[in-house]
Amino acid sequence: MPRVANFFDVNDCIELYNSGMSINQLANKFGVSRATINRRLKSSNVYLRTQSESETLKWSQMDETTRKRQVQKAHQSTIGRHVST
């Protein structure tokens, strides 16, 4: 079975990535794999964010309610736990 070619505007992809959209979000938007987005960005000499930079960006874009919901379970699991030094 031949591969289905998905064509998308690489310049649009680069602009969205540089504005803060993740590779996963771009892959979903354009209907291609993350590997395809990675390959197209690399071939266009776009600096790819590190995992740490991606996490920092993700957390900076969250509002306070979303941030609280994100950490709520972790905080609840530590209630009443004694931490020895």
Q: What is the pLDDT of residues 2-54, one digit of tens each?
A: 555 568 889 999 999 999 999 999 999 999 999 999 999 999 999 999 999 99
Q: Which pLDDT score is estimated for 83?
A: 81
**48: left (phi > 0), else alpha (psi -120 to 50), else beta?**
beta
Supply the pLDDT for residue 7. Answer: 81
Q: How confident is the model at residue 82 (pLDDT cuts 50, 70, 90)?
A: confident
Please report the pLDDT score of residue 1 as a whole number.
53
Give Cα 16 to chain centroid, integer Å. Answer: 12
Q: What is the mean pLDDT of residues 61-70?
A: 93
Q: How far separated are the first and last CA of the chain, in Å rounded?
A: 61
